[in-house]
Structure 1
Amino acid sequence: MTVRVTLVSPATSEALREVRFDHDSPLDPAGLAHAEAAAGAFGTDRQAYASPGLRCRETARALGLAAEPLAELATCDMGRWRGQRLDAVAAAEEQAVAAWLTDPTASPHGGESLRDVRLRVGAWLDSLPDALPDGGGRVVAVVEPDVVRAAVVHVLSAPDLAFWRVDVRPLTATELSGRAQRWNIQCGRLVSR
């Protein structure tokens, strides 16, 4: 049976605008307004999930989704960089940031590597056919852009460094259909009602 998964990136927040490793910040007023304007875009016939972070939970709620937070869909654990601006970290730890950007197994911040995120998200995707009634159905998940990137890399069986080649804009949908080890993808649809 086919599983249809819609991954929705959250609306904007101050941390996103500041290019800061998010520290569980809320949506900004513009982000909340955009998400509320798209309320009802996904109907009620889907199982709904969200990254446990505040921005994703608020986006899901504004979209009218009763989304269950899942640890498997959490954003990358950025360790001691959490809450800091990328430019400040790059200035203070140039080599560490370079390693993080070029080695998917690196975790110089003391948190999770990008490969670990891809493996975690990929395992969740591949488990869906067994977790859903009759092995198929519709799922919507509001997740941070890094989780969308990890899912795209996984479903395309792309090298881990392809992670940095996937752009994910706020409040867009990436649609996956298929089953474990065989997925199709449609990227970047703007979420609207």
Structure 2
Amino acid sequence: MTSRVTFVSPATSPSLRQARFYDGDSIDDAGAARARSAAGTLPAYAGVTMSPSVRCRETAAALGLDGGETPELKGLDVGRWRGRTLEEVGATEPEAVGRWLADAGWSAHGGESVQDVCGRVGRWLDIAQGTDGRTLAVVEPEVVRAAVVHVLGLPAAAFWRLDVPPLTATELSGRGGRWNLRLGQPLAVPGTSAAR
């Protein structure tokens, strides 16, 4: 039995465009239009799930997908930094930002550590590997990062070295306790040629 998970990152939102820690805002008009134009271009799937966030729900709806939210696939909780830019936090808490970026187990901002999110997503993937067919998962970018860290057995510090652009697909296929990875494909938009 081969299990497949295609992670789709959400469309753009004001917090993403402003490099702010996600604060629950909606996708913007350009992101919604781009997602609607990509609707119907995703591979056939057996089920749909998503991060429990406004922008993931809205992206899934714009893509014509209907599914439930999975708490294990929520984005990284950044505690009191939510809604602020990294620059703002760095100006008021430079030591904390430095520690956060260097220590994957640090969570003194009141949220969760990178190590925690990697573990949470990894546990979900371990269960998902027992599912036959393809699951589409519209998830926050940090969930995709955590999944890549898990399937490649990377140290949690590698989390910060992975970029996940909006509306891209990252595919995993697995069987026998092992996953294979296909990274960051742009969603096909009719009338354009997607870079591969």
- Using structure 1 for the length normalisation, give the TM-score: 0.94
Matching of residue 61 in structure 1 with residue 61 in structure 2: yes
1:128 Cα deviation from its structure 2 partner: 1.1
> Which amino acid letter does the alignment assign opposite residue 172 of structure 1?
T
Query: 1:170 is matched with which residue?
Result: 166
Give runs of aligned pairs for residues 1-193 of structure 1, distance below 5 A: 1-42=1-42, 45-130=45-130, 132=131, 136-179=132-175, 181-193=177-189
Contact 1:125 1:180 in 2 (8 A): no
Please list every run of 5 or more consecutive structure 1 residues that lacks an aligned counterpart in the other structure: none
- Give CA deviations for 1:112-156 in whole Å, capped at 9, x if unaligned: 0000000000000010134x3xxx111000011100000000000
Counterpart amino acid of residue 140 in structure 2: E
The change in CA–CA distance for 1:158 and 1:97 in structure 2 (over 3 A counts) is: same
Distance 2:59 2:31 in 1: 8
Aligned residues of 1:9 and 1:145 also touching (Cα < 8 A): yes
Deviation >4 Å, runs of 4+: none
1:13-67 alpha-carbon deviations (Å, 9 max, x no partner):
0000111111111001110011011011226632100100000110011111102
Alignment RMSD, CA only?
1.2
Shift of 1:85: 1.5
Provide the rounded CA distance (Å) in 2 between the counterparts of 1:22 and 1:89: 14
3-state SS of the aligned residue for 2:99? helix
Q: Which runs of 5+ in 2 are unaligned?
A: 190-196
TM-score normalised over the length of structure 2: 0.93
- CA gap of 1:66–1:44, structure 2 versus 1, over 3 A, is farther
Letter in 2 for 1:153: V
Which residue identity lines up with residue 169 of structure 1 in the other structure? P
What letter matches 1:25 in structure 2? Answer: D
Residues of 1 paired with 2:180 and 2:102: CA distance? 27
- Answer whether contact 1:39 1:63 (CA < 8 A) is retained: yes
